[in-house]
Amino acid sequence: MKSTDQTRIHEALADATFEAYKSAVIRLPPDVLRVIEQAAAAETSPVARGEFDNILQNITMAEKLGVPMCQDTGVPVIYLTIPPDVPLTKELYDAVAEGVRKATKEVPLRPNVVDPLTRHNTNDNTGHGMPAIHVKPGEKFTVTVFPKGAGAENMSRIGMLLPSQVGQVEKFVVETVFLAGSRPCPPIVIGVGIGGTFDGAAAMAKEALLQPLDTMTEYERGMLAAVNRLGIGPMGLGGDFTALAVKVKTAGCHTASLPVAVNIQCWANRHATVEVPL
Amino acid sequence: MSAKIAKPVQLRTPLGEEVLALHAGDHVELSGLVYTARDEAHLRMQKEGIPFDPQGAVIYHCGPVIQDKRVIAAGPTTSARMNELSGFLFDKGVRGLIGKGGMGTRVREQLNGRGVYLAFTGGCAALAADRMTLKGVFFEDLGMAEAVWVIELDRLPLVVGIDAHGSDIFGEVSKHADAEFARYRKS
């Protein structure tokens, strides 16, 4: 591939990242909106219904005004699929960062990324190892932006359970939501990664949040019902919907291990995918 | 069938004795000036004094996105971080706090006979921005998120989370969740 082609691809990727970021923070994916609307219609607590009214009005208003639906515009979690004819180079990572910087300035996004120890803010939402970029091979060249806010992310947990504790996975998930209480801005979406390795379980829990929320397995529905029995409700004000959905991903693991990761996401399960034109 | 939400009570700052008539669970719409303050602003106010008239004032736990002197996004932040930082405000006449997630027992006691904690839906930054006009700023050197922004509200939809009589929705909900989770503790 010629270098001019390379430059063009990098520019296209930066633009696509910008577009996906902007779209993600302003409007929710249709499946996410559907589960919020379904919950709003089914909720029985008057206080919780008021919270759902505000959430739905807020979603409408963000779209109408073209502004982010939440002031915590998150940190950039990025998923790329790369087709066989696009070489995976450092420049691809730079192009994504460029798109993030542009989005920070122009959407605008709140500058959230700091050095973990000095707490120095880079003011452009990039930094060492940030954006967090995950790459997979694919047929099309796409960029998915999943802005992750801190309120919910901070409530996430990982447990290295014993192989004999397969029956305790639900307890670990319910306990995570119980400990989180009102802090992750419920109604939440719960991503669960089971198996793999310590780091792999966490990655699966995050990826699970990107799967369609309006279809759940029996296992997922069972965990959702258990979580909702806690009655924490929207914003911790009580109600039928502490969570909107539970999504599980699994991977093979060591016979002596049972890693379980729970990634918590607030109702604003924002993500958008844009195809990069080649 | 679900219960219908009663018509919200209209309130305007500065607040007075009318807040004492509110009960946890009441829906209200708040208009008038409010002041944003997070951790850093509370610490600064404790040290240097409150830069606005605190009589009947309402503090909003919020770190907004401001661009070209306009409120772009301004949802609430977690109020519990200010649990140990809020007492002096009520002593100076503050009547209300707005935030998300509720506050500790100490604040519930401090609000007794004086003021209310109003919950605003977390993440509802666009709805908030639509009901807000920026009027000024104090402590701008603290940065965008931590500065005290003076904001005029136009009917911001809130719910009374903690009232002036010791009733606390968040406390009740926590008790219920605790009892429910107890089942798992045995297993």
CATH number of the domain enclosing B31: 3.20.130.10
Task: Look at chain B and report how many structural domains it folds into.
Answer: 1
Contact A38, A30 (CB under 8 A): no
Chain B, 28 to 47: residues with Cβ < 8 Å from chain A are: none
B122 touches A: beta carbon within 8 Å: yes
CA nearest B122 in A: which residue?
A: A185
Question: Is the sign of the CA dihedral A35, A41, A47, A50 positive or negative?
Answer: positive
Cα dihedral A14→A266→A152→B142 (10° resolution):
70
DSSP A110-146: ----B-TTT--B-SSS-BTTBSEEEEEE-SS-EEEEE
Of B4, B75, B119, the CB nearest to A70: B75
**What integer pLDDT is reported at residue B1 of this predicted model?**
38
**What string of DSSP letters covers B76-127?**
--BGGGGTTT-HHHHHTT--EEEEBS---HHHHHHHTTT-EEEE--TT-HHH
Where in the sequence is the domain holding B123, given as residue range(s)? Answer: 9-14+23-186
pLDDT at A109: 92
Mention every residue, 6+ apart, whose C-beta is less than 8 A from residue A213: A31, A32, A34, A35, A189, A244, A245, A247, A269
Which secondary structure element, helix H or strand E, spans residue B9, and what is its range? Answer: strand B9-12
CB–CB of A182 and B102 under 8 A? yes
DSSP string, B36-50: E--HHHHHHHHHH--
Tell me whether residue B28 is in a domain: yes
Interchain CB contact of B69 with A (< 8 Å): no
- Within 10 Å of residue B67's Cβ, how many Cβ atoms? 14
Q: What is the ipTM of this complex?
A: 0.90
Q: Centre a 10 Å sphere on the Cβ of residue A62 and count the other Cβ atoms it contains.
A: 26
pLDDT value, residue B185 = 81
- Cα–Cα distance for residue pair A54/A176, rounded to 1 Å: 26
Residue A48 touches partner B, C-beta closer than 8 Å: no
Among B56, B29, B53, B64, residue whose Cα is nearest residue B153: B29
Q: Is some CB atom of chain A closer than 8 A to the CB atom of B173?
A: yes
Burial (CB count <10 Å: 0-12, 13-18, 19+), residue B21: exposed
Is A71–B169 a contact, with Cβ atoms under 8 angstroms apart? Answer: no
Mutual angle of helices A46-65 and A30-42, in 10-degree steps: 150
Give the Cα-Cα-Cα angle A176, A178, A182 (nearest 5 degrees). Answer: 110
pLDDT tens digits, residue range A178-217? 999 999 999 999 999 999 999 999 999 999 999 999 999 9
Least Cα distance to B8 among B169, B128, B164, B118 occurs for B118
For the CA atoms of B142, B144, B148, B150, the dihedral, rounded to the nearest 10 degrees, stands at 150
- Would residue B127 count as lying in a domain? yes
In what helix (H) or strand (E) does residue A57 lie, and over which residues does it extend?
helix A46-65
Chain B nearest CA to A170, separation (Å): 9
CA separation for the pair A88, A243 (Å, rounded): 38
Residues of chain A with pLDDT under 50: none
Please list every residue in chain B whose beta carbon sits closer than 8 Å to the beta carbon of residue A62: 125-126
Cβ <8 Å between B3 and A168: no
**Residue B4 included in any domain:** no
* Chain B closest-CA separation from residue A43 CA (Å): 7
Looking at the DSSP bridge assignments, the partners of residue A195 are: A251
Specify if B179 maps to a domain.
yes
Question: What pLDDT was estimated at residue B4?
Answer: 53
- pLDDT for res B65: 84
Q: Which of A53, A166, A229, A237 has the highest number of chain B CBs within 10 A, making it the mutation to test binding with B?
A: A237
**Cβ-nearest to B65 among A110, A171, A229:** A110
**What is the pLDDT, as a whole number, of residue B2?**
43
The answer to the question of residue B168 being in a domain is yes
Q: List the catalytic residues of B.
A: 42
Nearest by CB: B123 against A46, A69, A182: A69
Assigned domain for B72 exists: yes
Strand A75-82 to A188-195 pairing: unpaired
C-alpha dihedral, A272 to A7 to A133 to A90, nearest 10°: 180
* Domain membership flag for residue B86: yes
Report yes or no: A105 at the B interface, CB cutoff 8 Å. Answer: no
Look up residue B89 and give its two tokens. Answer: 């405000």
Structure tokens, A5: 């082609």
Domain ranges of chain A: 3-27+69-148, 151-265
For the entire predicted model, the pTM comes to 0.93
Over pLDDT 90: what percentage of chain A? Answer: 95
Instruction: Walk along chain B (187 residues) and give the pLDDT tens digit of each residue.
Output: 344 567 899 999 999 999 999 999 999 999 999 999 999 999 999 999 999 999 999 999 998 888 889 998 888 999 999 999 999 999 999 999 999 999 999 999 999 999 999 999 998 989 998 999 999 999 999 998 899 999 999 999 999 999 999 999 999 999 999 999 998 887 6
Among the listed residues A154, A46, A141, the one whose alpha carbon sits nearest the alpha carbon of residue A87:
A141
What are A68's strand-pairing partners? none
- Of the CA atoms within 13 Å of residue B79, those in its CB half-sphere come to 31
The answer to the question of residue B98 being in a domain is yes
Distance CA A32, CA A249 (A): 18
